[in-house]
């Protein structure tokens, strides 16, 4: 086993003895399998109260389960000990950090290093838990493979998930650690507000984060920015539960508008915060604007008490009543007018478009920002799920007089999809021309996060849960890493019609437990999943280290000349499909025409030189024969070069057009082709220079030899020169 660099030799020795003894468990399974092969008969289905059973097979398996339970208990006990130790050290460090103003800079640096070490050990502990969890999964899978008559994997995994070392939530440690870093940095609200006043150019970028990397990303962020605690009274951790109910109609008008990024495309949702039933609701509207036109998308919202949401949606709660309520709460005239305008517009859109509750997103949100300064801020959404707001086989929300799903109703597997990654949003509001902080740039390039341009929870949930209704899907649905989560909520292929689905039936009339994901990806076919996924998050290997994002179907290193030219990605994928404007296609055409112009110019020069060389060869004097050979050589250098440029430009233009059509914007950059063409042109010109120099030296040497004759003009040339002399006059 490999351990973190912050663990000393003594700790490494202790940790090495606390891992699940996979080899011992494997040997016990082999013994049980061998015992099962010796038995030629099986009396497990009948018994007699007067006949003693041998029970060798049961004893072998019993040893295995006893040992497995001992290993699980050992891991749990060790994990709790380490957590208690880290919490104690963290509390002591926190008390010392509160007096950081009186500390010297050297002492403050020592405390910072200690805080970083605690953070590293916490990440190492998380890795330890993940490795043991993976070992338990693998040993149970091997048990079911070698002993198929007594499968136990599914049952024991459910038991395993109830263990405290797996279910434990230690995010409160992140809050304490964040406060320690903030104290030692000396963060002040005044500085934050000053920085916020200067920021005016805001951009938001979304990333996927593997679950195994969430703590590492949090650790990087809190070293430089404190956790923004939503509600310290109800939450001891760093995250708050967020529910958002998105509205749409039966034709999915809002979904397709947001997917196609149509100008003015709307998203209407009702959001509330906290684990309890909604009390205060936020009615929100997001409007898409074309960024390439210099416009910015807008998000607007106002608040309503929960009991007034249904009357508002049905039109019974009017704008006049809303304005009266705002005035009663002491709102100014300007605020009342602005909120009332938004109130009317959203209510009109709901009525005219026949919008109704459609999809809900639910997640735990952690926020990171410097006080009220939003020049640099982060949100991290974990435990992300999307579910249908209208339950299958039950009255819809509209019929029930509700605006969100009845929590008492069961949720079938086709009504919910669990997103396997966390979603990180990096929001930058910096003065124009200013780069993000260095640590933010390092996080973007760390490999821990993967950019997914314009990723939308609403779009993903709708596409995954309503495959029979959508006409198009977002590009990230082809990602291999989310395929299992989509298959888990896929309807049965024989009952693709939503009205005829049975939540507990799968292919081949084989019963399946609710919420159970298929072991084989081919057991269910989801209509949204293509045959060739574009991206894949590779499984961990060895010590559970996550591999970088890799593009499926990309050639191996050195595979093909297109890969060598950089026209096919290899290794870590950085392709981020995004929306492209018509000017992108026109720019590609202009680039192609520029290459063609250069090639035609070279070809024209080469053709003219060939014609000149043919005329020079007809002359009998040595000077013209030597010059004609040189011209012919130059022409044969330039003409193939022009042909190669034409062919290369055509191939690159075709490839680039295909990538633009697929919205693979990051792969339209030709990184090696221009350098290759420059090298070929330089080599051609160098060859021409060398040949011209040799020809000049040869001609000069021949002129020194005896018998060298100056070329004699032909009669036609002499007549031409005489006529020119007559026209120019005596001065010529």
Q: Name the token pair of 587.
A: 């720019």
The string of pLDDT tens digits covering residues 150-209 is 888 888 888 888 888 888 778 888 888 888 888 888 776 544 443 433 334 567 899 999
Q: What Cα–Cα distance (Å) separates residue 376 from each residue in 106, 201, 202?
A: 28, 11, 9
| 625, pLDDT greater than 90 | no
Compute the CA torsion angle 402, 404, 406, 407 (nearest 10 deg).
-150
Contact 364, 239 (CB under 8 A): yes
d(CA 175, CA 228): 9
Q: Name the token pair of 459.
A: 């779009």
What is the reported pLDDT for 9? Answer: 61
d(CA 275, CA 162): 21
| 347, pLDDT greater than 90 | yes
Backbone angles phi, psi at 286, to 5 degrees: -110, 130
Q: How confident is the model at residue 692 (pLDDT cuts 50, 70, 90)?
A: confident
| 502, pLDDT greater than 50 | no
What is the reported pLDDT for 4? Answer: 44
What is the reported pLDDT for 719? Answer: 54
When mean pLDDT is compared across 79-93, 491-505, 630-644, the lowest value belongs to: 491-505
d(CA 501, CA 522): 19
Which carries the bigger pLDDT value, residue 628 or residue 594?
A: 594
d(CA 80, CA 476): 39
- End-to-end alpha-carbon separation of the chain, Å? 96
- Give the position of tokens 């997640």: 363
Q: Round the average pLDDT of the chain to a whole number and report it.
A: 76
Of 561, 568, 560, 569, nearest to 648 by C-alpha is 561
For residue 170, count other CB atoms closer than 10 A to its CB: 15
pTM of the predicted model as reported, rounded to 2 decimal places:
0.64
Contact 212, 544 (CB under 8 A): yes
Which carries the bigger pLDDT value, residue 543 or residue 216?
A: 216
Q: How confident is the model at residue 370 (pLDDT cuts 50, 70, 90)?
A: confident
What is the reported pLDDT for 316? Answer: 93
Q: Name the token pair of 340.
A: 């009332």
When mean pLDDT is compared across 92-96, 414-418, 516-520, the lowest value belongs to: 516-520
| 261, pLDDT greater than 60 | yes
When mean pLDDT is compared across 492-506, 576-590, 666-680, the lowest value belongs to: 492-506
Q: How confident is the model at residue 361 (pLDDT cuts 50, 70, 90)?
A: very high
What is the reported pLDDT for 550? Answer: 33
d(CA 284, CA 268): 6
| 526, pLDDT greater than 60 | no
What is the reported pLDDT for 551? Answer: 31
d(CA 634, CA 629): 9
Total residues found in the chain within this entry: 732
Backbone angles phi, psi at 157, to 5 degrees: -65, -40
Q: Name the token pair of 102.
A: 């009186």
When mean pLDDT is compared across 141-150, 362-371, 603-612, the lowest value belongs to: 603-612
Backbone angles phi, psi at 608, to 5 degrees: -65, -40
């Amino acid at each position: 086993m490999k351990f973190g660099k912050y663990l000393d030799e003594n700790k490494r020795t202790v940790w090495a003895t606390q891992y699940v003894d996979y080899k011992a468990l494997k040997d016990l399974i082999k013994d049980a399998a061998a015992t099962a092969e010796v038995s030629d008969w099986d009396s497990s289905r009948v018994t007699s109260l007067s006949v003693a059973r041998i029970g060798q097979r049961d004893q072998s398996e019993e040893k295995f389960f006893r040992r497995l339970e001992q290993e699980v208990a050992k891991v749990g006990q060790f994990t709790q000990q380490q957590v208690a130790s880290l919490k104690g050290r963290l509390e002591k460090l926190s008390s010392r950090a509160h007096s950081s103003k009186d500390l010297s800079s050297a002492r403050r640096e020592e405390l910072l290093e200690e805080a970083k070490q605690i953070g590293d050990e916490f990440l190492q502990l998380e890795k330890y838990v993940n490795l043991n969890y993976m070992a338990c999964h693998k040993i149970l899978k091997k048990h079911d493979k070698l002993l198929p008559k007594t499968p136990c994997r599914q049952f024991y995994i459910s038991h395993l998930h109830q263990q405290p070392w797996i279910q434990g939530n230690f995010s409160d440690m992140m809050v304490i650690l964040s406060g320690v870093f903030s104290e030692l940095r000396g963060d002040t609200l005044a500085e934050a507000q000053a920085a916020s006043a200067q920021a005016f150019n805001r951009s938001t970028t979304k990333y996927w984060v593997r679950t195994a990397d969430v703590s590492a990303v949090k650790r990087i962020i809190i070293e430089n920015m404190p956790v923004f605690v939503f509600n310290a009274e109800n939450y001891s951790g760093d995250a708050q539960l967020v529910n958002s109910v998105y509205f749409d109609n039966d034709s999915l008008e809002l979904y397709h508008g947001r997917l196609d990024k149509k100008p003015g495309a709307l998203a209407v949702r009702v959001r509330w915060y906290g684990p309890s039933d909604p009390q205060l609701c936020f009615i929100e509207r997001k409007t898409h604007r074309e960024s390439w036109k210099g416009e910015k998308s807008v998000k607007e919202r106002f608040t309503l008490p929960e009991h007034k949401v249904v009357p508002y949606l049905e039109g019974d709660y009017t704008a006049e009543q809303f304005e009266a309520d705002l005035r009663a709460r002491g709102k100014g005239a300007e605020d009342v007018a602005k909120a009332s305008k938004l109130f009317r517009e959203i209510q009109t859109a709901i009525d005219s478009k026949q919008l109704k509750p459609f999809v809900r997103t639910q997640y735990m949100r952690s926020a990171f920002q410097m006080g009220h300064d939003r020049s640099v801020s982060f949100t991290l959404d974990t435990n992300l799920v999307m579910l249908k707001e209208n339950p299958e086989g039950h009255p819809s929300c509209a019929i029930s007089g509700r605006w969100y799903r009845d929590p008492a109703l069961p949720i079938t597997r086709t009504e919910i999809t669990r997103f396997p990654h966390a979603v990180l949003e990096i929001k930058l509001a910096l003065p124009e021309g200013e780069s993000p902080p260095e640590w933010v740039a390092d996080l973007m390039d760390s490999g821990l996060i993967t950019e997914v341009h314009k990723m939308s929870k609403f779009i993903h949930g709708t596409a995954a849960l309503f495959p029979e209704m959508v006409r198009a899907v977002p590009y990230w649905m082809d990602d291999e890493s989310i395929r299992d989560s989509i298959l888990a909520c896929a309807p049965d292929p024989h009952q693709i019609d939503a009205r005829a689905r049975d939540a507990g039936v799968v292919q081949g009339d084989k019963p399946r437990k609710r919420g159970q994901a298929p072991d084989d990806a081919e057991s269910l076919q989801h209509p949204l999943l293509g045959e060739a996924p574009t991206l894949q998050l590779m499984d961990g290997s060895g010590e559970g280290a996550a591999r970088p994002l890799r593009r499926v179907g990309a050639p191996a290193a050195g595979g093909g000349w297109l890969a060598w030219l950089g026209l096919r990605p290899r290794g870590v994928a950085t392709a981020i499909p995004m929306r492209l404007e018509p000017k992108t296609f026109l720019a590609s055409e202009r680039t192609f025409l520029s290459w063609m112009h250069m090639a035609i110019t070279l070809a024209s020069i080469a053709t003219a030189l060939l014609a000149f060389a043919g005329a020079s060869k007809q002359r009998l004097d040595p000077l013209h024969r030597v010059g004609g050979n040189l011209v012919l050589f130059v022409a044969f250098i330039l003409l193939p070069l022009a042909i190669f440029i034409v062919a290369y430009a055509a191939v690159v233009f075709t490839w680039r057009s295909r990538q633009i059509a697929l919205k693979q914007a990051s792969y339209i950059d030709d990184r090696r082709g221009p350098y290759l063409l420059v090298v070929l042109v330089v080599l051609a010109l160098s060859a021409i220079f060398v040949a011209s120099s040799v020809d000049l030296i040869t001609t000069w040497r021949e002129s020194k030899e005896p018998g060298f004759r100056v070329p004699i003009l032909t009669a036609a040339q002499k007549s031409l020169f005489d006529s020119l002399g007559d026209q120019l006059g005596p001065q010529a």
